[in-house]
Amino acid sequence: MKLLYPRAATASALLVAGVSMLSVGASAQMMPTTSAPPVTHTTDFGPACSAVPKAGAGSFSGMTKAPVATAASHNPVLSTLVAAVEKAGLADTLNTAKGLTVFAPDNAAFAALPKAALQSLLANKAALTKLLEYHVVAGRLSPAMVVGVHKTIEGETISVAGSGASFNVNGTAQVVCGNVQTGNATVYIVNSVLNPAA
């Protein structure tokens, strides 16, 4: 067996390698020549990701990937945030910006705020806009780039720490589901509302 099997195996391996090389060559030749970079293979991570629908309502018929505010509106754990975004009139702005990173507080994060504070926040458009803009960073941050200090759209900075599948923002808010890809933004769902004054 020592003598015999390897030879036949070598023949087979050569065959497989040869045909595979041909196939790769053939594919490369038939590949479309578009300039778009290949999509990265990263996926989302975190304990709460199972609650995040992989496909939004209507996505069965989607031609293009939904932009961030539209995608969030399909996600039941972000309904309070979506309401706040609409109240502030930020939905189109978020949807049409060229590339963003959004730290999205889930419903539990808003529920943890004192009721009166939440009500007055939702009633004050300027303060609400400022708060929501504090959750948005220009450019798409991958998990490899997210750690560090980032200037938000609001103007103040946030600080992200952690590694692997465990990250926190400003030392308090935990990322419960990170690296969610939408049409124009990368989303990190956090379990607490970020406060620029903190």
Task: Give the interface with other proteins as residue ranges (CB under 8 A).
Answer: 1, 4-5, 7-9, 11-12, 14-16, 18-20, 22-32, 34, 36-39, 41, 58, 60-67, 70, 88-90, 92-98, 126, 129-130, 133, 136, 138, 153, 155
Cα–Cα–Cα angle for 7, 12, 16, nearest 5°? Answer: 145
For other proteins, the closer of residues 12 and 142 by Cβ is 12
Position 155, amino acid: G
Question: Which segments of the chain does DSSP mark as H helices, in order?
Answer: 4-30, 68-73, 79-87, 91-96, 107-111, 115-123, 125-133
Task: Rank residues 174 and 184 by Cβ distance to other proteins and give the closer one.
Answer: 184
Give whichever of 41 and 115 is closer to other proteins, judged by the CB atom: 41
Question: Shortest Cβ distance from residue 115 to other proteins (Å)?
Answer: 26
CB of 143 to other proteins, least distance (A): 17
Structure tokens at 138: 């220009």
DSSP output for 42-84? ---BSTTGGGS-SS-TTGGG-SSPPPHHHHHHT-GGGHHHHHH
What values do phi and psi take at 23, rounded to 5? -65, -40
Minimum CB–partner distance for residue 197 and other proteins (Å): 17
Name the residue nearer to other proteins (CB basis): 36 or 116: 36
| Whole-number Å distance between alpha carbons of 1 and 114 | 76
Q: Which is nearer to other proteins, 28 or 116 (CB)?
A: 28
Minimum separation from the CB atom of position 67 to other proteins (A) = 6
